[in-house]
Amino acid sequence: MPYIPHTQDDITAMLDTIGIGSIEDLFDEIPASLRCGKLEKIPSSLTEIEIGQLMCQRATQDSGVACFIGAGAYEHHIPAAVWEITTRGEFYSAYTPYQAEASQGTLQLLYEFQTMMANLTGMEASNASLYDGASALAEAVLMAVRLKKSKAKRILIPTTVHPIYRRVVNTIVKNQGITLDEVIFQPNTGTIDFNSLEKTISKETAALVIPQPNFFGQLEQVDELTDWAHAQGILVIGVVNPLTLAILSAPGEWGTQKKGADIVCGEGQPLGIPLSSGGPYFGFMCCKKAYVRQMPGRIIGRTVDMDGKTGYTLTLQAREQHIRRSKATSNICTNQGLMVTAATIHTALLGTKGLEHIASTCHANATTLIDQLTSITGVAQVFNGPFFHETVLRLKNPVNEVLQKLATHNILGGYNLTELYPELGNCLLVCATEMRTIAEMNNYATQLQNILNT
């Protein structure tokens, strides 16, 4: 909101109406131990002119650079038509359809989104989106525990799952008696260690999380992992990059018997959403039809009206939080409607062949880049085995220092892993999408070689 019109007299009148003395009194139910106190490090307020200048400066920081950072947010080409259509008034202002059937356009779009995601993932049902990939995984964990209907409240979560996702999941589920059991990775492949799985599983395990690709960009052995999990009587939660599903096997077909994952979730940003300095993005979730009543969010269905015309309806909305918050399936109160609109338009414009072409180009560019960089003395690829469009490199020089020097040449050289994975040593995660040109990759290799040789 760019302008808040309430004067102090307006605020006082509103407080008097509800019978409290100050805005602070609205939050008196929050224990003092949970409050952050005064925000002393926030600078004093700026004028409107100064705010405008600051935001322009921040915006220019994202332009004119070659981005080789991935780590969960990826720079892809977005056709001009996507956001031209998305920002039309009828889409741009659409919000949660509280009178759902009166919002036929919104419902149709969400239905088409669900259909696309179900087709991409090979699953039977999809909801109409979640906040982001991290919270989608948290919801999938909660859903898996509900489905077990027992005391099974432990989740096998590999350390190859995005570290931020793991933190978010822990924050959301830790106070609900759910335990996250970490599974380590094999040092040579950067993929889940089967021996660690065997040692970590227990009678209280509800599900195994399988990332594909994983945080390192490596491809997990999804068929073997799915078979193993189902043989143990536990559910499989797939965490996927939707773009990769144009060329990789769909989660609904994982396993030698094609029984597939039980729940699939992930981040939808690669489907037409710009980086935007970190968001907003959107999450998605799909599942087997047998589990659909435990899926959070809403599901849109297609039907015909009394005149035989196609119509769309809110088929399932297992969201009792509107009236029973403490007993709700989920406390998700909206969907990322605008992002989903863009993703649906983007996917429809590209089609099957377009998505496949982009995914293949990403992999080809990443392979070219890694070959160039690893030919430099002092640069080595950490993991062997297949990867999609990013992988881990080890440098002889401190990563942070190298990245700072690359930035002076307008190169965002990768994601520093030294704090997140200290056991790997001096490593960074490097990514190349279809947006990176041969000239940009050559320049990266040249500048990196110069930096390491000085």
Pair (230, 93) in one structural domain:
yes
Task: Tell me whether residue 59 is in a domain.
Answer: no
Q: What Å distances lie between residue 106 and 112, 300, 311, CA to CA?
A: 10, 10, 12
Task: Tell me whether residue 173 is in a domain.
Answer: yes
Model confidence over 398-427: pLDDT tens digits? 999 999 999 999 999 999 999 999 999 999
Pair (100, 186) in one structural domain:
yes
Model confidence over 357-384: pLDDT tens digits? 999 999 999 999 999 999 999 999 999 9
By residue range, what is the domain housing residue 399? 66-74+352-452
Beta bridge partners of 158: 183
CA gap 180, 359 in Å, rounded: 32
Three-class secondary structure of residue 49 per DSSP: helix
Residue 364 sits in a domain whose CATH number is 3.90.1150.10
User: Kindly report the CA angle at 141 between 137 and 145, in degrees rounded to 5?
Assistant: 165
Pair (393, 295) in one structural domain:
no
Residue 171 sits in a domain whose CATH number is 3.40.640.10
> Cis peptide before 270, with omega less than 30 degrees from 0?
no
In this structure, the dihedral spanned by the alpha carbons of residues 155, 270, 355 and 119, taken in order and rounded to 10 degrees, is 40
pTM, two decimal places: 0.90
Q: What is the count of structural domains for the chain?
A: 2
Mean pLDDT for the stretch of residues 289-313: 92
Instruction: Write the CB contacts of 161 (distance below 8 Å, at least 6 apart in sequence).
Output: 137, 209, 211, 214, 215, 239
Three-class secondary structure of residue 403 per DSSP: helix
354 exposed, middle or buried (CB, 10 Å; 0-12, 13-18, 19+)?
Answer: middle
Q: How would residue 317 be classed by pLDDT, with cut points 50, 70 and 90? A: confident
Task: Tell me whether residue 45 is in a domain.
Answer: no
Pair (296, 393) in one structural domain:
no
Which amino acid makes up residue 223? D
Q: What is the per-residue pLDDT for 335?
A: 66
Pair (157, 276) in one structural domain:
yes
Q: What is the per-residue pLDDT for 95?
A: 65
Pair (230, 304) in one structural domain:
yes
CB 297 within 8 A of CB 169: no
Q: How would residue 93 be classed by pLDDT, with cut points 50, 70 and 90? A: confident
Give Cα 105 to chain centroid, integer Å.
26
Pair (252, 389) in one structural domain:
no
CB 154 within 8 A of CB 167: no
Task: Tell me whether residue 382 is in a domain.
Answer: yes
Task: Tell me whether residue 5 is in a domain.
Answer: no
Tell which of 346, 376, 394 closes a domain.
Answer: 346
